[in-house]
Structure 1
């Protein structure tokens, strides 16, 4: 499920700060107010994203109640998805009717477009891409990030943050039940990655969170109560992925397909330039750069390897790769033999962080196409 990304939250937060200083006129002032409300309401619908964005306490505008978002997991049920869609569609309409882009100054108009594109990206995911129905890594990564984030961010005393984590651990079985109810099918690579990452979530609870809980404390008693149920739920989810979801027929792959990819690319990159144009430009620049590298490498190749020919018998592509590769390897070998050996000091743990939580667990979004929640 597409959530407002953390980089987008940071960027829009910068927008809000800038608006405080530069906004003028009724439309601009109202746009600043709506932008702030939009960020807070959408983050409140995704507590895991709120934790990452640094938004920890949300005041419900209807009840006035303060909600500790770090103690909650996202509602990923069908009702939760419907609410995500309703809220984003409603906000798009409000921005377009209450502060139309034509009524804003140049800077605010640019910010308006940024927000509008972020909403469009969310609705594209909810309505058409629908990873929440077809990609189990979405749920596994969301849960892992939600459990890990409060360990690394000193926004509150450690015992308070650990209490939030335990609340999220307690909610994990229900969260995974919701995930099961949503998933319809999945590409096998998504299932494989989800199972591997889910092992990381189990390891996170047993070998990272557990040592952080003070022995003999109320938190330890709470951990001993909720952790075994959560670990069992995680193991059951992995078994379900392997024995049930993996057995379902699907014609989907991890690829978005040309049409959806083009639409997502436009919204993510905030540019009218198409992905085909970007690829063509990159290939052109790569070809140009490699040709320049070859011209630099040829005299060095002759110097380094006087007994070699210049590989003229190879195809142009093979020759280019061969000559450049041999020269780069020779330079690397020469530098390795001449550089002085130096001892590398062992990094010291950051103040306030336990050594047991310095290493990020084997979970969260990977940069490979197969393990992202949106595919490629």
Structure 2
């Protein structure tokens, strides 16, 4: 009897051992594939590597040539096939690998969709700003290494900028006009960055600064030529539609949300949320309306009209707003207040890391009015930048006033 029990236990332990071996093997195989994928991605996208805090490729820029993009698509498909081949009967991952497998597979599918269907390098000039400006800015803005290490990489990237410009000119065909107009403004920002914005880094090494001066001017001249090309050649033929179309939008939405919810269902939910939110806003606005307009006749004022009441209150609140000269300092004040409030009420743990509120670099403007730029996860030290965009210099006084009435003191607090 004991012999039989012992045999059964040994058999059971043997089965567990086999299962454990399978799990370890599957996990190891996936992790190797994931590691290989990330390595090739960082090599092909050196600017992304720098942002993440991997500084092995700081002297390189992305290759946007058709041959390089075809090679990148083939690589994505190779790794998709690798992952598909893993999903055989008995395939089993443990722990975080089960989630990471799905994330990686969906990310690869998205990259393939971008390469095969979106093809942004052919119609979106903003794609190239990652190499033409942000690649340089990343080496200047963050003190992840001494200037003696960063400046040589800066030189190599600036040497590569004319090649990227040539590829942009060859690739771009019929962009949406708004994309080209924004690219023109951002390219002027890139010119200013190269001519003036490198000083925080170069001033730390006067000898290297002097050696780099000729390349600075050469790079700025190349960007000036590119800006003229955008204005005189690309802009007249920028007749493309910025809309993706229903089919591509539906696919992109799924990737963006990592969800199978249809856009119809999302619209249905959003409409319901909008109605609830409008009711809540009205209920909040009503006492304010009575406060700000105490002599108004409720009937004549149309208090039953929720939109009218809300609009009147919002318009009144919009009178308190910053301007180009004060918006950055006001954002600093609000962030300080919000941080102190969160700490005092123990709402969340606030990281003890530097946070700088800055005017948004010119080459990044035209897409968002503000953004938060944290150091890459591989950078152990470094500041977080909260960038706020002033209005464009060529805007009229009326347009600036309208803008800041919308992004008023109360809106900025949100």
Which TM bucket (shorter chain)? 0.7 to 0.9
CA–CA separation in structure 1 for the residues paired with 2:106 and 2:290: 54
Q: Does residue 362 of the first structure (1) align with residue 351 of the second (2)?
A: no
CA–CA separation in structure 2 for the residues paired with 1:275 and 1:183: 30
* TM-score normalised by L of structure 1: 0.74
Tell me what 1:13 maps to. none
Tell me what 1:27 maps to. 26
CA–CA separation in structure 1 for the residues paired with 2:313 and 2:368: 30
Tell me what 2:48 maps to. 49
Tell me what 1:142 maps to. 131
Quick one: which of 175, 178, 186 aligns to 1:197?
A: 186
Q: Which has the larger radius of gyration?
A: 2
Q: Does residue 265 of the first structure (1) align with residue 257 of the second (2)?
A: no
Q: Does residue 73 of the first structure (1) align with residue 61 of the second (2)?
A: yes
Query: Highest relative contact order (Cα 8 Å, sep 6+), 1 or 2?
Result: 1
Aligned residue pairs total 317
CA–CA separation in structure 2 for the residues paired with 1:86 and 1:253: 28
Q: Does residue 113 of the first structure (1) align with residue 102 of the second (2)?
A: yes
Q: Does residue 293 of the first structure (1) align with residue 293 of the second (2)?
A: no
CA–CA separation in structure 1 for the residues paired with 2:36 and 2:85: 16
Tell me what 1:65 maps to. none
Within a 5 Å distance, the mapping from 1:1-376 to structure 2 comes to 24-57=23-56, 69-98=57-86, 103-105=92-94, 107-210=96-199, 212-214=201-203, 217-248=206-237, 250=239, 252-298=240-286, 301-302=289-290, 305-310=293-298, 319-327=305-313, 359-364=359-364, 366-367=366-367
What's the offset of the Cα at 1:367? 3.5
CA–CA separation in structure 2 for the residues paired with 1:146 and 1:54: 13
Cα distance change of structure 1 residues 176 and 273 upon mapping to structure 2, 3 Å threshold? same
Cα distance change of structure 1 residues 243 and 284 upon mapping to structure 2, 3 Å threshold? same
How far does the alpha carbon of each residue in 1:70-118 deviate from its partner, in whole angstroms, 9 at most, with x for none?
Answer: 0111111112111211111111111211356953347423221111111
CA–CA separation in structure 2 for the residues paired with 1:90 and 1:299: 62
CA–CA separation in structure 1 for the residues paired with 2:54 and 2:166: 27
CA–CA separation in structure 2 for the residues paired with 1:360 and 1:158: 23
CA–CA separation in structure 2 for the residues paired with 1:178 and 1:303: 60
How far does the alpha carbon of each residue in 1:290-337 deviate from its partner, in whole angstroms, 9 at most, with x for none?
Answer: 213324544554465443233567596xx2122234446668989xxx
Give ranges in structure 2 of 5+ residues lacking alignment. Answer: 1-21, 321-329, 336-353, 370-414
RMSD after superposition: 3.3
Q: Retained in 1: the 8 A contact 2:182–2:366?
A: no
Cα distance change of structure 1 residues 178 and 222 upon mapping to structure 2, 3 Å threshold? farther
Give ranges in structure 1 of 5+ residues lacking alignment. Answer: 1-22, 58-68, 335-341, 348-352, 370-376
CA–CA separation in structure 2 for the residues paired with 1:260 and 1:278: 16
Q: Retained in 2: the 8 A contact 1:213–1:220?
A: yes
CA–CA separation in structure 2 for the residues paired with 1:136 and 1:167: 22
What's the offset of the Cα at 1:156? 1.8
What's the offset of the Cα at 1:280? 2.5
What's the offset of the Cα at 1:279? 2.8
CA–CA separation in structure 2 for the residues paired with 1:123 and 1:358: 36
Q: Secondary structure at the match of 1:71?
A: coil
* TM-score normalised by L of structure 2: 0.68
